[in-house]
Chains A and B, each alone.
Chain A
Amino acid sequence: MNLTLKVWRQKNDAGEGQLETYPVSDVSPDMSFLEMLDVLNEQLTLKGEEPIAFDSDCREGICGMCSLVINGVAHGGEKGATTCQLYMRKFKDGDTITIEPWRAAAFPVVKDLVTDRSSFDRIMQVGGYVSVNTGSSPDGNSILISQDLSEEAMDAAACIGCGACVASCKNASAMLFVSAKIKHLNVLPQGQPERRKRVEAMLQAMEDEGFGNCSNEYECEAVCPKEISVDTIAFVNREYVKAKLKLI
């Protein structure tokens, strides 16, 4: 099939960007979206035009590196999938597709479709862990955890840190990401000693990084490739109240 792409091009974080139009022909429906961009980049290179910069790594939906807003939707609107898991059979011959980077003050554009998401790492540094040094752990089976609890923690821990939640939110809030990280540890026995500190510190760090607040739009849940529920945010809001009241 033949497509028209409108792609955000931006030299670097200092420059201004604009949408450029590129026709692509002979796209196979079995190609992934990123493979389609690879093919376009090969063609551009042979014409002496600089290829489009975009992030990707594992190309199987788990590393969280790929990050495109496609036709206005983070990761392109395929339920429970990242950009790299989107296939061209979802598009029709003759379609025009707009491709933009994640847009948020806390994710500055590095080049074209590539952004800097190190703000997520900095949020993790203030509490996204259990303070246990290597070697100081008891036997694994000395901590009993019910299947339900383990599943609940795993649902939150499945977050791949891609930032689609931020890109889709009109406030550019990182609340779904931060909540997933907090909930994973705060429901488990291992996370109890630092429960209060974790919720307070990570929410503060989120604000300091320039992310907005949550106003219950649920856009994040809709685009989350790991289908993390907004209930996670409700959980963390309750944790925050308990922390403020020193109930945890």
Chain B
Amino acid sequence: MSLDAKIPDGPIEQKWDNHRFDLKLVNPANKRKHSVIVVGTGLAGASASASLAELGYNVHSFCIQDSPRRAHSIAAQGGINAAKNYQNDGDSVYRLFYDTVKGGDYRSREANVYRLAQISNNIIDQCVAQGVPFAREYGGTLGNRSFGGAQVSRTFYARGQTGQQLLLGAYSALMRQVGAGKVTQHSRKEMLDLVVADGHARGIITRDLVTGKLERWSADAVVLATGGYGNVFFLSTNAIACNVTAAWRAAKRGAYFANPCYTQIHPTCIPVSGSYQSKLTLMSESLRNDGRVWVPKKQGDNRAPEQIPEDERDYYLERRYPSFGNLVPRDVASRNAKAVCDDGRGVGSTGLAVYLDFRDAIQRDGEDLIRQKYGNLFSMYEEITDENPYSSPMRIYPAVHYTMGGLWVDYNLMSTVPGLFVIGEANFSDHGANRLGASALMQGLADGYFILPYTVGGYIAAEGEDIGTDHAAFAEAEEAVKERTGKLLGVNGSRTVDDFHRELGSIVWDHCGMSRTADGLKLAQQKVRDLRDQFWSDVTVLGSEGEFNQTLERAGRVADFIEFGELMIQDALQRNESCGAHFREEHQTDDGEALRDDENFSYVAAWEHKGVGEEPVLHREDLHFDTVSLTQRSYK
């Protein structure tokens, strides 16, 4: 079966306009009779909740943290793209659209990406109006920088804390609606199941993380804005609590999961230092604007970097990609770092790092200017590593950072379960096989502020209904949650939850990380299946259900990651080509670049869950490129 993405007819520039006109409207006076559940309060969730409430809907907003302001969007450093062309450097909606489709290695949906580029400009206006303190030029206009491989300056930023400031903007809009009584905020409540009745998403089951109480919530529509699944790798730049649970439980209730194998490995992170490590820290890739990436030419060269003369250094990105140099997209930069380390030329105690060197930039611009641009990043690096990056180069290595895959959604951002919408990183739609820098914030806010509020209305006007929580489907879902929790607490085994999580992470990192092979993936598949059995027979979860129990929370999430990990591997195995961040060693060009197979793999892989341990069913959405022509991505 081919999936219908419900892409509107007409020229690409007019699709969104036409579609907004075609969507049914809910009478303004009737909106107050309808309610929407929004799970997650990051950029997508907070902006959606606030915007829906402004329109008049009653919103129930949920987050697992102690405050909606803590969602992990807050950690985004670099910036947000928009096609304003304020710099007069030739940018346009079309160019942003084109760059994003190309950057995604032609595995995203053209119509969605075009809409994203169109909306990008409204986002900046909205955020400025909220008081987001973006960087300014001397004349008081908005400042821009070039970012993540773009050849125009279209990135808006607020120091190295753009995500924080945008999230605080969305959070303040959300708080305003809580104050106005239009949003009810439920913090420290975790969604543990989706309730589907008569084929429609009608509510959710949550666990109160303080008291352990299970609760039922019903609404006309359910929106998931629960972020990505990067923590399947255990070590990632995600926050500790980021998880796949809400999305995975929705998948088990019938929502197809699309392209789970597309995971972005960010090239500039601080390398792993020991087995106790709980997370990896990203260094904004804006550093690549001035830092030069290199390794020694000689294998096993363990001299201090300052003692390695210029002609014995390999500035491999500049050498291989003379036109983009150190600014090649993330997937290319990461893969090259892995290649030089695999070649025995990695640096540092583990040999799993490359240098990011500011010596030349400091000589050229002076230490003051570099401090002004990157001061906070440099001090962060020094705090963590105890090394001074002004005097010796940083050591960096790629780390899991973002997941392009997610629940499948149509043009309305609705999943295969009617009434269940998925926005932000939790859906799959806009980044294809690789996300460009400064595009995640753009997509989260586009979905939440400017797309979902219309499309949810269209659904509610046609088929929305709040059936209340007495329906048998609620009782069944609550019972299922209770049973699973009981099972987790009842194993009483000998291994900790984190121990399982760490093992899962190392399996998927080794075999389904920066590069993949059919043999490795098959091996990993078996290992993850075995791990699932071991988990359910040997995990230990102390404490009880009816209390604040962080181990129980993590156990549920790790159990879901294990099930999900199997699907991720399966997806990587079926995608018998290389594209974007998905690099299958069997498929590369003569000079080692990703080799796509457009004839056979120009589709979205959407997986239907058939039960744990059962073979999932693959559904394809064929991708059509009517506006841009498919080319080999080249950054030479």
Contacts and interface: CB of A to CB of B under 8 A. Distances in A.
Tell me if chain B binds chain A: yes
Contact of B136 (A39, A129, A150): A150
Nearest to A133: B54
Interface stretch (A69-77, A118-126, A210-218, A234-242): A118-126
B540 interface: yes
A147 B139 CA distance: 8
A34 B239 contact: no
B542 A57 contact: no
Interface stretch (A1-9, A46-54, A93-101, A168-176): A46-54
A57 B72 contact: yes
B380 A60 contact: yes
A153 B134 CA distance: 10
A38 B496 CA distance: 11
Interface residues of B, number: 80
Interface in A53-100: 53, 55-65, 78, 80-81, 85, 87, 89
Given A28-B276, A38-B278, A191-B131, A50 B75 contact: no
A59 B239 contact: yes
Nearest to A86: B383
A132 B278 contact: no
B559 interface: no
B176 A129 contact: yes
B175 A188 contact: no
A57 B185 CA distance: 19
Contacts of A139: 125
A30 interface: yes
B383 A81 contact: yes
A87 B270 CA distance: 15
B278 A134 contact: no
A144 B75 contact: no
Interface in B45-74: 47, 50-51, 54, 65-70, 72, 74
A129 B142 contact: no
B128 A137 contact: yes
A53 B209 CA distance: 12
A79 B450 CA distance: 41
B336 to A, nearest CB: 25
Interface in A117-165: 117-118, 120-121, 124-126, 128-141, 143-147, 150-151, 153-154, 157-158, 160-161
A65 B496 contact: no
A128 B128 CA distance: 15
B36 to A, nearest CB: 15
Contacts of A146: 136, 140
Which of B51, B171, B172, B498 has the largest count of A CB atoms less than 10 A from its CB? B172
Interface string A95-121: 000000000000000110010111011
Interface stretch (B3-11, B512-520, B545-553): B545-553
A147 B138 contact: yes
A23 B137 CA distance: 54
B15 interface: no
A38 B128 contact: no
Contacts of A36: 276
B274 A30 contact: yes
Interface stretch (B161-169, B303-311, B599-607): B161-169
B178 A125 contact: yes
Nearest to B126: A137
A116 B129 contact: no
Nearest to B238: A58
B141 interface: yes
B172 A128 contact: yes
Which of A28, A116, A133, A140 has the largest count of B CB atoms less than 10 A from its CB? A140
Contacts of B277: 35
Contacts of A57: 65, 70, 72, 239-241
Interface string B89-131: 0000000000000000000000000000000001011111111
A188 B131 contact: yes
Contacts of B348: none
Which of B51, B124, B126, B543 has the largest count of A CB atoms less than 10 A from its CB? B126
A134 B496 contact: no
A38 to B, nearest CB: 6
Given A140-B125, A150-B133, A188-B131, A45 B551 contact: yes
A109 B459 CA distance: 42
A86 to B, nearest CB: 9
Contacts of B289: none
5 contacts: A63-B74, A128-B172, A137-B126, A138-B129, A150-B133
Interface of B: 47, 50-51, 54, 65-70, 72, 74-75, 84, 86, 122, 124-131, 133-142, 158-159, 161, 164-165, 168, 171-173, 175-176, 178-179, 185, 187, 210, 239-241, 273-274, 276-279, 281-282, 379-380, 383-384, 386, 449-450, 453, 494, 496, 498-499, 540, 542-543, 547-548, 550-551
Interface of A: 11-12, 28, 30-32, 34-36, 38-39, 42, 45-46, 48-51, 53, 55-65, 78, 80-81, 85, 87, 89, 110-111, 114, 116-118, 120-121, 124-126, 128-141, 143-147, 150-151, 153-154, 157-158, 160-161, 184-185, 188, 190-191
